[in-house]
Protein backbone atom coordinates (compact mmCIF):
# COMPACT_ATOMS: atom_id res chain seq x y z
CA UNK A 1 0.00 0.00 0.00
CA UNK A 2 1.29 3.47 -0.88
CA UNK A 3 0.05 4.99 2.36
CA UNK A 4 -1.65 8.36 2.66
CA UNK A 5 -0.63 10.55 -0.25
CA UNK A 6 -0.62 14.31 -0.01
CA UNK A 7 0.07 16.87 -2.68
CA UNK A 8 1.81 19.13 -3.15
CA UNK A 9 4.67 18.51 -0.68
CA UNK A 10 5.57 22.17 -0.72
CA UNK A 11 3.51 25.20 -1.65
CA UNK A 12 4.57 28.83 -1.69
CA UNK A 13 1.89 31.36 -2.43
CA UNK A 14 1.23 35.03 -2.10
CA UNK A 15 -1.12 36.47 0.47
CA UNK A 16 -4.63 36.63 -0.85
CA UNK A 17 -4.30 33.70 -3.21
CA UNK A 18 -6.37 30.55 -3.00
CA UNK A 19 -4.57 27.41 -1.90
CA UNK A 20 -5.81 23.85 -2.31
CA UNK A 21 -4.20 20.94 -0.52
CA UNK A 22 -5.00 17.40 -1.59
CA UNK A 23 -5.12 14.06 0.14
CA UNK A 24 -5.64 10.48 -0.95
CA UNK A 25 -6.32 8.23 2.04
CA UNK A 26 -5.35 4.60 2.29
CA UNK A 27 -7.74 2.48 0.27
CA UNK A 28 -10.52 1.09 2.44
CA UNK A 29 -10.07 3.56 5.25
CA UNK A 30 -13.29 5.36 6.12
CA UNK A 31 -12.08 8.11 8.46
CA UNK A 32 -9.99 11.04 7.28
CA UNK A 33 -8.41 13.78 9.34
CA UNK A 34 -6.75 17.10 8.54
CA UNK A 35 -4.18 18.37 11.06
CA UNK A 36 -2.08 21.52 11.10
CA UNK A 37 1.37 21.74 12.67
CA UNK A 38 2.94 25.04 13.71
CA UNK A 39 5.70 25.97 16.10
CA UNK A 40 3.35 28.03 18.21
CA UNK A 41 0.36 25.71 18.45
CA UNK A 42 1.80 22.27 17.75
CA UNK A 43 -0.44 19.69 16.09
CA UNK A 44 -4.11 20.65 15.90
CA UNK A 45 -7.04 18.79 14.42
CA UNK A 46 -8.83 20.94 11.88
CA UNK A 47 -11.58 18.63 10.66
CA UNK A 48 -12.42 14.98 10.31
CA UNK A 49 -14.67 12.97 8.03
CA UNK A 50 -16.30 9.62 8.54
CA UNK A 51 -17.60 7.84 5.44
CA UNK A 52 -17.05 11.06 3.45
CA UNK A 53 -19.25 13.12 5.80
CA UNK A 54 -17.73 15.95 7.86
CA UNK A 55 -18.27 15.06 11.49
CA UNK A 56 -16.35 17.68 13.44
CA UNK A 57 -15.04 20.90 11.94
CA UNK A 58 -14.67 22.77 15.21
CA UNK A 59 -10.94 23.06 14.66
CA UNK A 60 -11.24 24.94 11.38
CA UNK A 61 -9.82 28.33 12.31
CA UNK A 62 -11.91 30.62 10.12
CA UNK A 63 -14.38 30.72 7.28
CA UNK A 64 -11.43 31.09 4.97
CA UNK A 65 -10.80 27.39 5.50
CA UNK A 66 -12.98 24.74 3.91
CA UNK A 67 -12.64 21.01 3.39
CA UNK A 68 -14.40 18.54 1.17
CA UNK A 69 -14.43 14.83 0.64
CA UNK A 70 -16.31 14.13 -2.57
CA UNK A 71 -15.53 10.42 -2.48
CA UNK A 72 -13.77 7.83 -0.37
CA UNK A 73 -10.43 8.29 -2.11
CA UNK A 74 -9.99 12.04 -2.18
CA UNK A 75 -10.18 15.07 0.07
CA UNK A 76 -9.22 18.72 -0.27
CA UNK A 77 -8.45 21.48 2.18
CA UNK A 78 -8.86 24.94 0.70
CA UNK A 79 -7.78 28.28 2.07
CA UNK A 80 -9.24 31.35 0.40
CA UNK A 81 -7.86 33.94 0.75
CA UNK A 82 -4.59 32.78 2.27
CA UNK A 83 -2.71 34.81 4.88
CA UNK A 84 0.89 34.62 6.16
CA UNK A 85 -0.34 33.20 9.48
CA UNK A 86 -1.64 30.16 7.61
CA UNK A 87 1.95 29.11 6.98
CA UNK A 88 2.30 25.65 8.52
CA UNK A 89 2.64 21.99 7.72
CA UNK A 90 -0.72 20.42 6.97
CA UNK A 91 -1.11 16.69 7.53
CA UNK A 92 -3.77 14.36 6.32
CA UNK A 93 -4.37 11.07 8.15
CA UNK A 94 -6.72 8.17 7.64
CA UNK A 95 -7.93 5.27 9.71
CA UNK A 96 -10.19 2.28 9.45
CA UNK A 97 -13.29 2.16 11.62
CA UNK A 98 -12.66 -0.29 14.41
CA UNK A 99 -8.94 0.36 14.35
CA UNK A 100 -7.55 3.04 16.63
CA UNK A 101 -4.42 3.72 14.58
CA UNK A 102 -4.27 6.72 12.26
CA UNK A 103 -1.83 6.72 9.37
CA UNK A 104 -0.31 10.04 8.40
CA UNK A 105 0.78 11.42 5.07
CA UNK A 106 4.08 13.22 4.68
CA UNK A 107 2.44 16.60 4.91
CA UNK A 108 2.25 19.74 2.82
CA UNK A 109 4.49 22.59 3.88
CA UNK A 110 2.62 25.80 3.08
CA UNK A 111 4.34 29.16 3.03
CA UNK A 112 2.26 32.26 2.47
CA UNK A 113 4.33 35.36 1.70
Partner 1 sequence: AQSVTQLGSHVSVSEGALVLLRCNYSSSVPPYLFWYVQYPNQGLQLLLKYTTGATLVKGINGFEAEFKKSETSFHLTKPSAHMSDAAEYFCAVSDGEAAGNKLTFGGGTRVLVKP
The residues that touch partner 1, with contacts defined as CB under 8 A, are 4, 31, 33, 35, 42-45, 48, 50, 55-56, 91, 93, 95, 97-98, 100-107
Cα separation, 98 vs 76, whole angstroms: 24
Report the number of secondary-structure helices (H) and strands (E) in the chain.
0, 11
Q: How far is the CB of 104 from partner 1 (least distance, A)?
A: 4
Instruction: Give whichever of 54 and 81 is closer to partner 1, judged by the CB atom.
Output: 54
Round to whole Å and give the CA distance between 55 and 38: 24
In the chain, the largest separation of any two C-alpha atoms, in whole Å, equals 41
CB of residue 55 to partner 1, shortest distance in Å: 6
Omega into 109 within 30° of 0, i.e. cis?
no
Distance between CA atoms of 18 and 24, rounded to whole angstroms? 20
Q: Which is nearer to partner 1, 49 or 65 (CB)?
A: 49
Shortest spacing between CB 106 and partner 1, in angstroms: 5
CB 49, min distance to partner 1, A: 9
CB nearer to partner 1: pick between 65 and 90: 90
Amino acid sequence: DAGVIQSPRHEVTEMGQEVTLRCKPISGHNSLFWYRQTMMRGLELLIYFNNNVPIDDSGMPEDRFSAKMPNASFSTLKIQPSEPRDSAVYFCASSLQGNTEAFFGQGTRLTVV
